[in-house]
């Protein structure tokens, strides 16, 4: 899926500026499973206005820069629907954390332990955010998506906690000792 489709999808929920679209994928409804940068959003909106998929009205603001508020057109809506037909591509998951864990034996054990602990903490914060998000009602599809996110994060936290004993420090006194990751079963 490209930025164009993404922008059309967000505009389907109401008019927005490029800035607001970015906030929606960063903090709002689309958070945690969609990403896009200003560097792709702004040019996409400009081009889509040329193609009549969206309209743009400029709103002057005092003290703040002018806003360009975009609205999806009928043509844009049909483009969106057509882009969404067919089977969606498989989810993409990228994890530097798992990459580090796979290479744990070339890194200091205390670093691995710190990273591991930090990760659990970060996931707990993310979970709390999602749960507070679920409270604020939003709309049914949003409930479903937030629920999905909560299920995943909870599973990740659960796994990391039960595997924690697998993160071992070998021979505590050696300085050059490297960390080792092993499953709890071992």
Partner DNA sequence: TTGAGTATATATCAGATCTATATATCCCGC
Partner DNA sequence: GCGGGATATATAGATCTGATATATACTCAA
What is the contact surface with DNA in residues (CB under 7 A)?
Answer: 1-4, 17-20, 23, 35-40, 42-46, 61-69
Which of DNA, its own copies, none does 62 bind, CB closer than 5 to 8 A by kind? DNA
φ/ψ of residue 17, rounded to 5: -90, 170
CA distance 22 to 34: 10
Structure token pair of residue 98: 């798992």
- CB-nearer residue toward its own copies: 45 or 104: 104
CB 9 within 8 A of CB 80: yes
Which of its own copies, DNA, none does 19 bind, CB closer than 5 to 8 A by kind? DNA
Q: For its own copies, which stretch binds (CB under 8 A), given 45-53, 58-66, 111-119, 169-177?
A: 111-119
CB 109 within 8 A of CB 179: yes
Binding test (CB under 8 A) with its own copies, winner from 37, 71, 118, 132:
118
Site map 147..186 versus its own copies, x via CB under 8 A: xx--xx-xxx-xxx--x--x-------------xxxx-xx
Which residues are registered as beta bridge partners of 70?
Answer: 16, 56
Task: From residue 126, give the alpha-carbon distance in Å to each of 27, 32, 69, 78, 138.
Answer: 11, 9, 30, 35, 18
95 lies in the binding site for its own copies (CB under 8 A): yes
Rounded to a whole number, what is the largest CA-CA distance in the chain?
Answer: 69
Residues within the interface to its own copies (CB under 8 A): 1, 6, 9, 12, 29-30, 32-35, 77, 80-81, 84-85, 87-107, 111, 115, 118-119, 122, 140-145, 147-148, 151-152, 154-156, 158-160, 163, 166, 180-183, 185-186
């Amino acid at each position: 899926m490209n930025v164009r489709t993404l922008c059309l999808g967000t505009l389907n929920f109401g008019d927005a500026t490029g800035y607001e679209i970015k906030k929606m994928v960063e903090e709002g409804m689309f958070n945690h499973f969609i990403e896009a940068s200003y560097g792709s959003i702004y040019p996409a909106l400009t081009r889509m206005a040329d193609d009549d998929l969206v309209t743009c009205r400029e709103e002057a603001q005092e003290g703040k820069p002018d806003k360009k508020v975009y609205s999806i057109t009928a043509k844009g809506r049909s483009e969106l629907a057509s882009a969404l037909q067919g089977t969606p591509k498989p989810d993409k998951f990228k994890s530097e954390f798992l990459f580090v864990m796979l290479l744990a034996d070339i890194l200091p054990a205390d670093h691995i332990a710190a990273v591991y602990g930090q990760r659990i903490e970060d996931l707990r914060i993310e979970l709390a955010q999602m749960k507070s998000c679920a409270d604020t009602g939003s709309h049914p599809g949003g409930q479903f998506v937030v629920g999905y996110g909560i299920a995943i994060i909870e599973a990740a936290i659960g796994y990391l906690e039960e595997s924690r004993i697998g993160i071992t420090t070998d021979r505590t006194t050696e300085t050059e000792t490297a960390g080792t990751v092993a499953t709890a079963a071992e």
